[in-house]
C-alpha cells in the first residue's frame, strides 16, 4: 500500500493496490467501477477526479474487481519496478476477464501516457488507455469500448487542471485530504520520466483551490495537503488582468486563512524554487505545518549537475540553513537516488555527509532505475553495477535509520499537538494522528476526544517512525 508517513503520498510508488470506494452516486444506473491506484499522491488525487467524472454518469464503485463492469488501474512509471507491479496486477485481472469477457479493463495514468497504444499490443486484455490529461473523455471512451472497439486518449494538455471538478473523496478518513494545485513539470531532471508522462507545468486557479479547502473544512476535514510536482513554482495569472497574480507563498497564506483549525501541508518543494517568502508564510501561520519535503537526490555537486537539478551542494545546504533560521522547529524530509550514472564512491560519500549535515526526519531512498526516453537514458551510460547501487542504497538507508531514531528521540518528553485521524492500526484502544512535524503519534483513546479533533500528547517513548505517549493534562 502507499505509505503515508509523509503528507505527500508522493515518491513512493510502492504504495499500491488501494481499491477506491465511492460512497454514493448521483444517478445510479448500476454499472460498477473499480479503481486501483499506484504511484504518487497526484495519481491518488486523479483517481478521485476519475471517480467524480464517472459518478456523474451514474457509475457506482465497488471494492471488488471481480464484480466490476469497469476495472481501472491508475499507473506509475517512475521506476521499473513500479511498472512491473502493474503488469503483474493486470495478469490477476485477466482471470476475471476470462470468466466475464464484458468486463472493461482500462489503464490510466503515467504508464498509459508513456506506452500509449503500445499497451494494447503488449497487454491483450486492456481495452482502454487513457493519459492523465484526458479523463474528461472517459465516458466517451467507455462508450467506444461498449461498441466493440479499443479506445486510446493520451493527449497531454497545456491547460487542463480539472479545476471545476469536485473530487469524490475515496477511501477517506473524512479528516485529511489532498488538493491538486498544479499539474505537470517543466523541470528536466535527467533521470525523471514525469515531464514526459504528465506534460507541461500549469497552475490551477487559486479561487477554486481556496473554495475546495473551504468546502472540505465545512465538511469536517481538518487537514489539506496542497499537491504538485514542484509546488514552489506555482504561478497563476488572471486571464483578464496581467496584474493579478498569485505565487505559492500567497496561495499558502490564502488557504491558511480558511480557518486556524485547518492544517495546511504541501508537497513537493524543489530546492531551487522554495523562497524565503514561503518560509516566512510558514512561520507566520500556526496552522501551516512545520514540515518540508525537500528532495536532495544527491549530496554531490557534479552528480547534481548531471541530474540537471540546477542547484549544487552548497546551495542546498544554504536552503537548509534558511529553513533552520526562519522556522527553527521545522522537520525536513528528502528523496535520495543512489548509483546514478557515473557516480563514484567518493561522490556517494557526499550523499552520506549531506545526510549527516541535515539529519532528515524522514527519507525516501531509491537506487537509480533507468527510464526509457529520459535525458539520462539518451545521454549517459547506466554504468554503476546493480550490486554497487544496492550496497550504496543500504548505506543510505542505514544512516537514515540512525537519523530517524535521533529525530524521534528528540521529541520524547515534549508535548505535541496531534490531529486525531482515527484508531491506531494495531489496536482500537489507541488513537493515532500526526504531529505538526508529521510524526505519527499513538496514544490511548479517551472518550473526551474524537477523530478530527486536536489534542496535546505528551511523548513518552519513540520508535524510528512513531511517537508514543498519553494525553497531556
Binding-site string for ligand F3S from residue 26 to residue 65, where x marks contact by CB under 6 A and - marks none: -------------xx-xx----------------------
Contact set for ligand SF4, span 265-284 (CB under 6 A):
270
**227 in contact with ligand F3S (CB under 6 A):** no
Q: Is 110 annotated as a binding residue?
A: yes
**206 in contact with ligand SF4 (CB under 6 A):** no
All residues at 6 or more sequence positions from 464 whose CB lies less than 8 Å from its CB, including other chains: 401, 404, 405, 408
Candidate segments 84-92, 192-200, 245-253, 428-436, binder of ligand SF4 by CB under 6 A: 192-200
Binding-site string for ligand SAH from residue 54 to residue 83, where x marks contact by CB under 6 A and - marks none: ------------------------xx----
**129 in contact with ligand F3S (CB under 6 A):** no
Contact set for ligand SF4, span 156-185 (CB under 6 A):
185
Q: Is 76 annotated as a binding residue?
A: yes
How near is the Cβ of 80 to ligand F3S at its closest, in Å?
12
Q: Which option in ligand SF4, ligand SAH, ligand F3S, none does residue 76 bind, with CB closer than 5 to 8 A by kind? A: ligand F3S
> Binding ligand SF4 by CB under 6 A: which of 96, 229, 269, 300?
229
**294 in contact with ligand SF4 (CB under 6 A):** no
d(CA 437, CA 454): 14
> Binding ligand SAH by CB under 6 A: which of 132, 184, 199, 295?
295
β 454-462/415-423 pair status: antiparallel
Q: Is 432 annotated as a binding residue?
A: no
**466 in contact with ligand SF4 (CB under 6 A):** no
Q: Which option in ligand SAH, ligand SF4, ligand F3S, none does residue 195 bind, with CB closer than 5 to 8 A by kind? A: ligand SF4
**77 in contact with ligand F3S (CB under 6 A):** yes
- Adjacent-strand bridge partners of 461: 468
How near is the Cβ of 396 to ligand F3S at its closest, in Å?
20
In the complex with ligand F3S, the residue whose CB is nearer, 2 or 468, is 2
Contact residues for ligand SAH, defined by CB under 6 A? 11, 78-79, 191-192, 194, 229-230, 268, 270, 295, 297, 335, 337, 366, 368-369, 371
Contact residues for ligand F3S, defined by CB under 6 A? 13, 39-40, 42-43, 76-78, 109-110, 193-194, 197-198
Amino acid at each position: 500500500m502507499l505509505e503515508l508517513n509523509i503528507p505527500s503520498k508522493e515518491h513512493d510508488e510502492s504504495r499500491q493496490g488501494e481499491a477506491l470506494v465511492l460512497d454514493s452516486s448521483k444517478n445510479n444506473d448500476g454499472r460498477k467501477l473499480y479503481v486501483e491506484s499506484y504511484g504518487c499522491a497526484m495519481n491518488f488525487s486523479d483517481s478521485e477526479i476519475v471517480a467524480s467524472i464517472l459518478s456523474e454518469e451514474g457509475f457506482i464503485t465497488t471494492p471488488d474487481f471481480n464484480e466490476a463492469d469497469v476495472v481501472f488501474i491508475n499507473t506509475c512509471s517512475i521506476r521499473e519496478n513500479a511498472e512491473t507491479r502493474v503488469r503483474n496486477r493486470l495478469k490477476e485481472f485477466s482471470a476475471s476477464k476470462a470468466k466475464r469477457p464484458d468486463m472493461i479493463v482500462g489503464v490510466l495514468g503515467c504508464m498509459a501516457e508513456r506506452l500509449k497504444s503500445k499497451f494494447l499490443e503488449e497487454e491483450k486484455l486492456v481495452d482502454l488507455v487513457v493519459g492523465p490529461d484526458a479523463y474528461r473523455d472517459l465516458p466517451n471512451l467507455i462508450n467506444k469500448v461498449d461498441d466493440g472497439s479499443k479506445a486510446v486518449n493520451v493527449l497531454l494538455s497545456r491547460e487542463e487542471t480539472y479545476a471545476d471538478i469536485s473530487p469524490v473523496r475515496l477511501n477517506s478518513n473524512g479528516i485529511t485530504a489532498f488538493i491538486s494545485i498544479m499539474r505537470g513539470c517543466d523541470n528536466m531532471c535527467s533521470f525523471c520520466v514525469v515531464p514526459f508522462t504528465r506534460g507541461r507545468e500549469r497552475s490551477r486557479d487559486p479561487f477554486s483551490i481556496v473554495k475546495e479547502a473551504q468546502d472540505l473544512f465545512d465538511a469536517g476535514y481538518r487537514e489539506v495537503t496542497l499537491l504538485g510536482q514542484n509546488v514552489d513554482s506555482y504561478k497563476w495569472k488572471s486571464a483578464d488582468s496581467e496584474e493579478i497574480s498569485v505565487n505559492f507563498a500567497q496561495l499558502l497564506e490564502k488557504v491558511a486563512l480558511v480557518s486556524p483549525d485547518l492544517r495546511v501541508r504541501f508537497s513537493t518543494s524543489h530546492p531551487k524554487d522554495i523562497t524565503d517568502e514561503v518560509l516566512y508564510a510558514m512561520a507566520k501561520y500556526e496552522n501551516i505545518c512545520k514540515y518540508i519535503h525537500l528532495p536532495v537526490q544527491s549530496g554531490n555537486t557534479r552528480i547534481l549537475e548531471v541530474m540537471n537539478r540546477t542547484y549544487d551542494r552548497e546551495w542546498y545546504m544554504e536552503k537548509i540553513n534558511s529553513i533552520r533560521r526562519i522556522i527553527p522547529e521545522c522537520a525536513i524530509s528528502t528523496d535520495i537516488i543512489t548509483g546514478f550514472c557515473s557516480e563514484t564512491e567518493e561522490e556517494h560519500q557526499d550523499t552520506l555527509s549531506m545526510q549527516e549535515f541535515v539529519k532528515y526526519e524522514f527519507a525516501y531512498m531509491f537506487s537509480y532505475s533507468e527510464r526509457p526516453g529520459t535525458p539520462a537514458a539518451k545521454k549517459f551510460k547506466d554504468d554503476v553495477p546493480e550490486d554497487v547501487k544496492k550496497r550504496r542504497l543500504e548505506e543510505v538507508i542505514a544512516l537514515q535509520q540512525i537519523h530517524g531514531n535521533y529525530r524521534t528521540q528528540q521529541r520524547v518528553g515534549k508535548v505535541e499537538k496531534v490531529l486525531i485521524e482515527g484508531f491506531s492500526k494495531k489496536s482500537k484502544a489507541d488513537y493515532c494522528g500526526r504531529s505538526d512535524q508529521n510524526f505519527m503519534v499513538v496514544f490511548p483513546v479517551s472518550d473526551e476526544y474524537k477523530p478530527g479533533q486536536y489534542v496535546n500528547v505528551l511523548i513518552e517513548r519513540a520508535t524510528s517512525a512513531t511517537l508514543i505517549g498519553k494525553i497531556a493534562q
